[in-house]
């Protein structure tokens, strides 16, 4: 693997770095908000991947203008616009669930929530 290959694909290395960071955050953090942040980073990396693959070197933005022959592929951008909307919606839903969890449990730490559930399940006799 020569240097050109590594530098030439720098965008993908970044994507992979972001992706792993995001995934690691989701897995390792106990805080629900932090998990969502990780999820966002993870999704963003995918957006980056799509956008960068649509780029044609030397091309301009795909706008209606006479005289332009070389332009970037617009389709991935369109797709990612959709995906961003989906991502935002996911984040919104996730955060609102976190709010509800906070109301119900008084904490947003996964360990504490699990402890509370465990106590409820085995400490008391019956479910409410």
Minimal distance, residue 13 CB to other proteins, in Å? 15
Contact positions toward other proteins, by CB under 8 A?
A: 23, 26, 32, 35-36, 39, 42-43, 46, 49-50, 53, 75-76, 79, 82-83, 86, 89-90, 93-94, 97-98, 100-101, 104-105, 110, 113-114, 117, 120, 126-128
Distance separating alpha carbons of residues 43 and 23, to the nearest angstrom: 9
- What would the two tokens of residue 105 be? 């449990």
Minimal distance, residue 66 CB to other proteins, in Å? 22
DSSP 88-109: HHHHHHHHHHHHHHHHHHS--B
With b for 16 or more beta-carbon neighbours within 10 A and e for fewer, the 8-18 pattern comes to eeeeeeebeeb
Distance separating alpha carbons of residues 46 and 110, to the nearest angstrom: 26
Minimal distance, residue 41 CB to other proteins, in Å? 11
Nearer to other proteins, 57 or 67 (CB): 57
- What would the two tokens of residue 42 be? 């993870």
Minimal distance, residue 55 CB to other proteins, in Å? 12
Nearer to other proteins, 14 or 23 (CB): 23
């Amino acid at each position: 693997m020569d240097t050109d290959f590594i530098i030439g694909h720098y965008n993908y290395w970044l994507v992979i770095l972001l992706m792993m960071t995001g995934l690691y955050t989701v897995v390792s953090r106990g805080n629900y908000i932090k998990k969502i942040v990780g999820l966002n980073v993870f999704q963003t990396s995918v957006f980056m991947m799509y956008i960068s693959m649509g780029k044609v070197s030397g091309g301009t933005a795909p706008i209606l203008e006479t005289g332009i022959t070389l332009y970037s592929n617009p389709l991935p951008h369109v797709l990612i616009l959709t995906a961003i909307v989906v991502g935002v919606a996911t984040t919104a839903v996730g955060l609102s669930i976190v709010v509800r969890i906070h109301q119900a449990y008084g904490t947003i730490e996964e360990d504490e929530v699990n402890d509370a559930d465990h106590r409820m399940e085995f400490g008391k006799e019956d479910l409410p």
